[in-house]
Amino acid sequence: MSLIFIIFILLVLLSLEILYFKLADHFNIIDKPNHRSSHTAVTIRGGGIIFTLAALIFFCAFGFPYPYFVLGLFAISLISFLDDILTLNNKIRLAIHLLSVLLMFYQWELFSLPWFWLPIALVFVIGTINAYNFMDGINGITGGYSLLAIATLYYINDYIVSFTSPELLIVVGLSLLVFNFFNFRKKAKCFAGDVGSVSIAFIIVFLLGQLIIQTQNFSYVLLLLFYGLDTVTTIAFRAIRKENIFEAHRSHFYQFLSNEKKLPHLLVVAIYIGVQLIINLTIINFIGTDLLSALFLIIASAMLFLIVRFKMEGKQRLLKYKSID
């Protein structure tokens, strides 16, 4: 892809994002802060629609590749956008999510593999999409973390093993740059919304699936390890506290850092990106296809993360621990 064409697509995406802002402002598609919010100002919601628009531009400009993936992405993005503004029935939303995931599986040619891969893949995909949605709570975190994931995947695709269209990675990366321009700041112009967090998760999971199927190397799931650690440990702590894990909350570690410790959002995001970058470099340079080393990385990272959480948050907050003294 030539530099001129890259600049052209970047300008198109920037124009589409600005156009969406005008439409969102006209139709009152905004996010009003409440007691669970990590922001205080009314902000445009759904700016992450640019990720799906980028995928559609890629689809039309480069010969209509990956049609089932794009159809699934469009369906899950549309239902997420409608849910952002209307609050749909959960059964309808879940049905479309399942249909979209099955379309992704068909694009992966997963149905030609032994049947037991289907439930494994379903848990991974649905879990990752929901984790992304849970983690989208402060300025810059979805855009920044996702840009690192796309950049890492581009490096792997270019220098280690070719597993997907480089044009798809570039166009999605450009959409993340546009979104981050408006979101990765102290006072965000827009939030991703469900349409943004769900769609970029769907895209990244599709790319990861392509990579894993091509290489048969499951270590690459660790490219999202830090999100996974925050999500899994938070769910575990909430279950221990006998809370409803499906209710909205502010129990994630990034929320503790930004809300209780009052760290600037962008500093918290920088911490998450920095830690995940170290993990990504470790995977690429030291782990490779060694699953035993990958398992050690998971265990060591989980133990270190739990130590940090207990040290900073304390047993009382995490477990509602009460001394018997």
DSSP 67-124: HHHHHHHHHHHHHHHHHHHH---HHHHHHHHHHHHHHHHHHHTGGGS-TTHHHHHHHH
Write down the domain spans for the chain. Answer: 3-319
| Contacts of 76 by beta carbon, 8 Å cutoff, 6+ apart | 96, 97, 100, 198, 199, 202
Report angle CA 278, 254, 76 to the nearest 5 degrees: 90
pLDDT digits (tens, 9 = 90+) for 208-251: 999 999 999 999 999 999 999 999 999 999 999 999 887 878 89
- Residue 46, CB half-sphere, CA atoms under 13 Å: how many? 24
* 3 state DSSP class of 5: helix
In this structure, is the dihedral angle defined by the CA atoms of residues 68, 69, 75 and 78, taken in order, positive or negative? negative
Closest listed residue to residue 237, CA positions, set 159, 176, 314, 127: 314
Q: What is the greatest pairwise CA distance in the chain?
A: 70
pLDDT tens, per residue, the chain with 325 residues: 899 999 999 999 999 999 999 999 988 888 766 555 454 567 899 999 999 999 999 999 999 999 999 999 999 999 999 988 887 888 999 999 999 999 999 999 999 989 999 999 999 999 999 999 999 989 999 999 999 999 999 999 999 999 999 999 999 999 999 999 999 999 999 999 999 999 999 999 999 999 999 999 999 999 999 999 999 999 999 999 999 887 878 899 999 999 999 999 999 999 999 999 999 999 999 998 899 999 999 999 999 999 999 999 999 999 985 544 3
Which pLDDT score, from 0 to 100, does residue 244 have? 87
Which pLDDT score, from 0 to 100, does residue 84 have? 85
Which pLDDT score, from 0 to 100, does residue 267 have? 97
